[in-house]
Amino acid sequence: MKSLKQRLGEIEALGGMGNLLFWDKQVMLAAGGHGARKKQMETLALVAHERRTSKELGDCLDALHKHPDLRAVLSPMEAATVREARRDYTRATRMPKELEVRLAALRSSGYDAWSKARETSDFQIMVPALEEWLEALKEEAAAVAPEMRPYDYCLDKFERGATVEKIDAIFSSIKQPLIDLLRKVVAENKSVAIPGWSELKFPLDSQKKLGEKIVREMGFKLENGRLDNFGGHPSTTPISSPTDVRLTTRYLEDNLMFGIGATIHEAGHGLYEQGRDLEASENGLIASGPPSLGLHESQSLLWERSVGLSREFWSHYWSRGVVEAFPELESSLGRISHEDFYRQINVVKPGFQIRVDADELSYPLHVLLRYEIEKGLFDGSLSVQEIPGVWKAKMEEYVGAAPKDDAEGCLQDVHWGMGSFGYFPTYVIGAIYACQIFDAADRDMGGELRQQVGEGRLLPLREWLRDKIHRVGSVYETAEELVELVTGKPMDTGLYLGHLTTKYADIYLNDG
C-alpha cells in the first residue's frame, strides 16, 4: 500500500488546494483577481487529472487488486480505499480527453446562458445549453460506465448505488402523502407567525456571536476550521479534513433564522468533515471520506431541522441564546416565548416558489418535480422545450401555485446550467436519512436525546454521529448499507412522513 497511499495522498492534497482556490475565490479574492484564479484552477485540474490517470497509479491498483487475499492484508478502510481508487481510476481513464474539454467549456457557457436566461426570464436562451448537456452526459455515461443507463450513471455519481428504480420507489411512497399534508395545512389557514416579527432588526455582529456560540456548542472546532460571514451562498469547504474545514454563512438583519439556520446547516456538514478518521486521512486513505452526497446532506439537515427546528432546541436557546444575544431587543423579545419562536421558524409558506427558501414541508416537493423532469429528459418522454410548461403544471399540482415567470420557475436553480443532473435527489435522500439517523441516535441514547438537546447538551449527539457515521467514511460502499447498519433498517420513508405529519399537525391542525 505504501506507494498507493503516497499517490492518493498527493491527489488528496491537490484536491485540498483546489478547495482552497475555491474558498478563497468566494471569501477573499478581490474583483480583479478572478481571471488569474481561473487559470490557477485549470492548471490544478490538469495536474490532478494527470495524477489520477497515471500509469503508475493504475499498475499499483492492478497489483493490489490481483492480490490473492486482499482482505487479509488490508484493513477495511484500506480495502475500501482500493475499491474507491479503482473506480475513480477506471472512470477517469475512460473519459475521452475531447469530451472532458467539451464538458469544461459547457460548464462555463452553460452557466453564462443560465445567468442571462434568468436575468431576462427567457428560457429559450438556455435551450441549446441544456440540449448540449443532455447529449454530453449521455456520451460521458456511455464512455465511462457503459454498463449503466445514462441517468442512473448521473444519479450514481452523487449517490453511489442510486438508480431510477430506487429513487422512483422512494419518491412515489412520499409524494402523495406530502401533497395531501401540505394541502391540509394550507386549508387550515391558520397563522402561527409572531405578529411584527419581520420588523425586528437583529444587529449582524450579535448574530455572528450567536452563530459562533451555537457552532461551538455543537462541537465544531474552530481550531480546525473557520466560520466566515460573507455575502454569497452559505457553504462548507474542506481544505483538509478533518483539520481544516471552513464554513461560510450569511446573516440578514431582518431575518434571524436565515443566518442561524444556515450556520447550523453548514456546521452539520462541517462536523462530518471534522469527524473523519484523522489517521486514515493523513495516510492518504481516501475511503475516510463520505460515501455519498445524500449522507452528507443528512448530517446538515439533521442538525438544521431535527435539532435546529425543534421545540427542545429552542426551549434552551431562546432565552440562553437569542434573548441574551440581543439585549437591545429585550422589550420585544421578552414578550415572545420559545414556543412562539418555534412556531415562527416552522411557518409553512403555501404556494412558495423558490426551493432554497422553502419550508421543510414543501421542500421535498420542489425536489420531486426536478427529478421527474430530469428523468423525462433522459428517457426521452420530455423535451427541453417542454420544461417550462411541465414545471408550471407540476408546481400548481404539488405546492398549489404556479410561478409568475420562468425566472421564478424553471430558471431559479443554477444546477442544470452547470450540468448537475442527478444531483437534486440527494437533498431528499438526505432529509429522509436525517430523520432515520436522529431516531436511531435517540434509541441508542435510551430515548434521552431530545431532553439533552433541551438542556443545550449537543456534544453527546456529535459523539454518536462521529462514531457511527463520520469516522466510518466509505468503508461501506453505499450510504444505504451504512444507514441500514447504523439504524437497523433500510431507508425508512415512513419515519420521515410520520415526523412531518406529527410535527405539522401539532403546529397547524391541533388546538393551540
Query: Does residue 502 touch a copy of itself according to CB under 8 A?
Result: no
**Spatial contact of 469 and 437, defined as CB atoms under 8 Å apart:** yes
Query: Does residue 2 touch a copy of itself according to CB under 8 A?
Result: no
Q: To 10 degrees, what angle do helices 338-345 and 256-274 make?
A: 80
**Spatial contact of 359 and 185, defined as CB atoms under 8 Å apart:** no
Rounded to whole angstroms, the Cα distance separating 345 from 193 reads 8
Known catalytic residue at 266: yes
Nearest residue (CB) to a copy of itself, 39 versus 335: 39
Nearest residue (CB) to a copy of itself, 12 versus 413: 12
Residue closest to 364 by CA, chosen among 376, 372, 373, 355:
355
Rounded to whole angstroms, the Cα distance separating 220 from 244 reads 11
Nearest residue (CB) to a copy of itself, 187 versus 459: 459
Nearest residue (CB) to a copy of itself, 240 versus 412: 240
Helix count and strand count (H, E) for the chain: 24, 3
Q: Is the dihedral of CA 131, 136, 142, 144 positive or negative?
A: negative
Query: Which of 2, 32, 199, 331: binder of a copy of itself (CB under 8 A)?
Result: 32
Query: Does residue 282 touch a copy of itself according to CB under 8 A?
Result: yes
C-alpha cell at 434: 436525517
Residue 403 exposed, middle or buried by CB count within 10 Å (0-12, 13-18, 19+): buried
Query: Does residue 28 touch a copy of itself according to CB under 8 A?
Result: yes
Query: Does residue 72 touch a copy of itself according to CB under 8 A?
Result: no
Phi, psi dihedrals of residue 244, rounded to the nearest 5°: -145, 95
Query: Which of 4, 5, 8, 20: binder of a copy of itself (CB under 8 A)?
Result: 20
If one counts every other C-beta atom within 10 angstroms of the C-beta of residue 209, the result is: 13
**Binding region for a copy of itself (CB under 8 A) out of 5-13, 373-381, 404-412, 426-434:** 5-13
**Binding region for a copy of itself (CB under 8 A) out of 32-40, 129-137, 186-194, 261-269:** 32-40
The 337-376 site mask, x for binding a copy of itself (CB under 8 A), equals ----------------------------------------
Identify the active-site residue in 132, 266, 273, 304.
Answer: 266
Provide the minimum distance between the beta carbon of 291 and a copy of itself in the complex, in angstroms, as a whole number: 22
Nearest residue (CB) to a copy of itself, 240 versus 436: 240
Query: Does residue 485 touch a copy of itself according to CB under 8 A?
Result: no
Secondary structure element (H or E) that encloses residue 5, with its range: helix 2-27
Rounded to whole angstroms, the Cα distance separating 398 from 374 reads 17
**Binding region for a copy of itself (CB under 8 A) out of 12-20, 96-104, 248-256, 357-365:** 12-20
Rounded to whole angstroms, the Cα distance separating 155 from 481 reads 17
Size of the site for a copy of itself (CB under 8 A): 36
**Binding region for a copy of itself (CB under 8 A) out of 43-51, 68-76, 107-115, 307-315:** 43-51
Residue with cell 436511531: 440
The DSSP bridge pattern shows strands 225-229 and 244-249 to be parallel
65 Cβ contact list (under 8 Å, min separation 6): 82, 86
Half-sphere exposure of 344 (CA within 13 A, CB side): 18
**Binding region for a copy of itself (CB under 8 A) out of 41-49, 186-194, 202-210, 460-468:** 41-49
The 220-239 site mask, x for binding a copy of itself (CB under 8 A), equals -xxxxxx------------x
Nearest residue (CB) to a copy of itself, 23 versus 133: 23
Across 144-297, the runs of DSSP E, i.e. the strands, are 225-229, 235-240, 244-249
Phi, psi dihedrals of residue 388, rounded to the nearest 5°: -55, -40
C-alpha cell at 500: 412531518
Provide the minimum distance between the beta carbon of 226 and a copy of itself in the complex, in angstroms, as a whole number: 6
**Spatial contact of 339 and 386, defined as CB atoms under 8 Å apart:** no
Cα of 60 vs its chain's centroid, Å: 33
**Binding region for a copy of itself (CB under 8 A) out of 40-48, 378-386, 392-400, 463-471:** 40-48
Provide the minimum distance between the beta carbon of 440 and a copy of itself in the complex, in angstroms, as a whole number: 30
Nearest residue (CB) to a copy of itself, 211 versus 321: 211
Starting at the earlier edge strand, list the strands of the sheet with 235-240. Answer: 225-229, 244-249, 235-240
Provide the minimum distance between the beta carbon of 142 and a copy of itself in the complex, in angstroms, as a whole number: 31
Provide the minimum distance between the beta carbon of 230 and a copy of itself in the complex, in angstroms, as a whole number: 13
Rounded to whole angstroms, the Cα distance separating 114 from 99 reads 21
Query: Does residue 37 touch a copy of itself according to CB under 8 A?
Result: yes
Query: Which of 78, 152, 244, 406: binder of a copy of itself (CB under 8 A)?
Result: 244
Query: Which of 31, 66, 165, 327: binder of a copy of itself (CB under 8 A)?
Result: 31
Query: Which of 22, 26, 44, 183: binder of a copy of itself (CB under 8 A)?
Result: 44
Interface residue list for a copy of itself (CB under 8 A): 9-10, 13-14, 16-17, 20-21, 24, 28-33, 35-37, 39-40, 42-44, 46-47, 221-226, 239-240, 243-244, 282
Active-site residue list: 266
